[in-house]
Amino acid sequence: MPDLLAHVEAVWQAVVLQLPGFTVEVLPSIDSTNSELMRRARAGRLEPVLLVAQEQTAGRGRLGKGWHSQAGRSLTFSLALPLAPADWSGLSLAVGVSLAQSLHPEIMLKWPNDLWLQQRKLGGILVESAGIGDNSSRSRSVVIGVGLNIARPEASAVLTDAAQSGVTPVAPAGLAEVLVGVTPGEVLERVAAALVRDVLAFEASGFAPFAHPFAHRDALRDRPVRLSDGGEGLAQGVSAQGALRVATALGLREVTSAEVSVRPC
């Protein structure tokens, strides 16, 4: 907790000029930072906020997967802000690009929402949204949740979480493997302002500015993949809207994040 608090002022100063009214909150423990900010959004609390938790007791990933979080050994936070892009497609990929660029050149991106280090899972992203105003408005409050391993988790803990979620486990990685001695607070200060800047850039221009840097860090490019619906093929990058392109025996298929999860074969 002292480590995170030591960096809060610097994070706030770096972001508030981009997001007037922006605040940072740090909690010792919470069920899920994303769940809390979604509760606030549904209750009409729409101010931009970064909510950081030293520990999450019920952290969530995409498709209801659990996220292993340990105080001092991981960084978990959620960013909430009103957003009205012309097209929401590719937002999680843009977030991944932003985080990877802020953290380390070796970090790769596994479509659609994982950060990998040396073929192992370093972190994950969960993007959710709640409507603002009547149905005629495009504006929504978006909540972007990020979980990053600072120290490499014990494999047994990851296996347990994967078994409980009913998913295939992926070996874990920790950021301290390439940034020796880094703390959660230091990582937060590294990524927060750039993340806000890049999300606002996505609102203005969509996924296009992030397509090339995503391709540079695409962990699945030219690799055989298996889809959760049983399909298989060779990953061929992403479309202009961020859909995964898979060359299958029946031709090229575009897969959206809502349809499948993907694992290397």
Q: Could you report the per-residue pLDDT of 162-173, keeping only the tens digit for each? A: 544 555 668 999
Number of other CB atoms surrounding residue 120 within 10 Å: 15
Q: Does residue 165 contact residue 66 with C-beta atoms inside 8 Å?
A: yes
pLDDT in tens, 11-32: 999 999 999 999 999 999 999 9
> Pick the catalytic residue: 40, 62, 152, 217?
62
> Pick the catalytic residue: 120, 197, 253, 263?
263
Q: Is 121 tagged catalytic? A: yes
CA distance 128 to 61: 11
What are the Cα distances from residue 42, in Å, to 133, 164, 239? 11, 29, 32
Question: What pLDDT sits at residue 63?
Answer: 46
Residue 241 Cα to chain centre, angstroms: 17
CA distance 220 to 204: 28
> Pick the catalytic residue: 40, 60, 110, 121?
121
Q: What stretches in the chain show pLDDT beneath 70? A: 59-72, 132-139, 155-169, 258-259, 265
All domains in the chain, ordered by first residue: 2-216 (3.30.930.10), 224-264 (2.30.30)
Question: What pLDDT sits at residue 186?
Answer: 97
DSSP letter, residue 193? H
Encode burial over 129-164: b for 16+ CB neighbours within 10 A, e otherwise. Answer: bbebeeeeeeebbbbbbbbbbbbbbeeeebeebbee
Question: What pLDDT sits at residue 69?
Answer: 63
Question: What pLDDT sits at residue 153?
Answer: 87
CA distance 104 to 106: 6
Q: Is 253 tagged catalytic? A: no
- Type of residue at 24: V
Q: Is 263 tagged catalytic? A: yes
Q: What number of helices (H) and strands (E) belong to the chain? A: 6, 12
DSSP, residue by residue, 153-192? PPHHHHHHHHHHHT-----B--GGGTSTT--HHHHHHHHH
Question: What pLDDT sits at residue 67?
Answer: 55
Question: What pLDDT sits at residue 262?
Answer: 80
What are the Cα distances from residue 244, in Å, to 16, 225, 265? 35, 11, 16
